[in-house]
Amino acid sequence: NAGVTQTPKFRVLKTGQSMTLLCAQDMNHEYMYWYRQDPGMGLRLIHYSVGEGTTAKGEVPDGYNVSRLKKQNFLLGLESAAPSQTSVYFCASTDGLAGGPAKNIQYFGAGTRLSVL
């Protein structure tokens, strides 16, 4: 059972280059999320999706775009990478059912470490 898989695991970009981070989940979850983790900042929400074909902005959306064309996949795009986007990116998913966290715990991928030079 793979859970949440992120590709690639590592990437180095030059300023201005573009790239797409892929998140795939095999748990048939409705909700998917993209976070970034920076030293001393915890995890901050970039964008999220409440279902196939939907996306919404999180806390720090600037410079990123997302797409959810298939339920199991959530893509994060950087159109023109900047050094400020050097970070570790995490994808998460949850089934989004109403109720306590026991029913909608967020499951995380292993992360993508991105460096922008």
Partner 1 sequence: DQQVKQNSPSLSVQEGRISILNCDYTNSMFDYFLWYKKYPAEGPTFLISISSIKDKNEDGRFTVFLNKSAKHLSLHIVPSQPGDSAVYFCAARSIIQGAQKLVFGQGTRLTINP
Per-residue contact string for residues 2-31; x = within reach of partner 1 by CB under 8 A: --x--------------------------x
CB 108 within 8 A of CB 4: yes
Binding of partner 1 by 43 (CB under 8 A): yes
CA pair distance 34, 57, nearest whole angstrom: 10
Q: Give min distance, CB of 35 to partner 1, in A.
A: 8
CB 100 within 8 A of CB 65: no
The one-letter amino acid at 89: Y
- Residue with smaller CB distance to partner 1, 14 or 28: 28
CB 45 within 8 A of CB 61: no
Residues for the chain: how many in total?
Answer: 117
The one-letter amino acid at 7: T
Task: Tell me which of 12, 27, 56, 117 binds partner 1, using CB under 8 A.
Answer: 56
Q: Give min distance, CB of 110 to partner 1, in A.
A: 5
Chain residues that interact with partner 1, rule: CB under 8 A: 4, 31, 35, 40-45, 48, 50, 56, 58, 90, 92, 94, 96, 100-102, 104-111
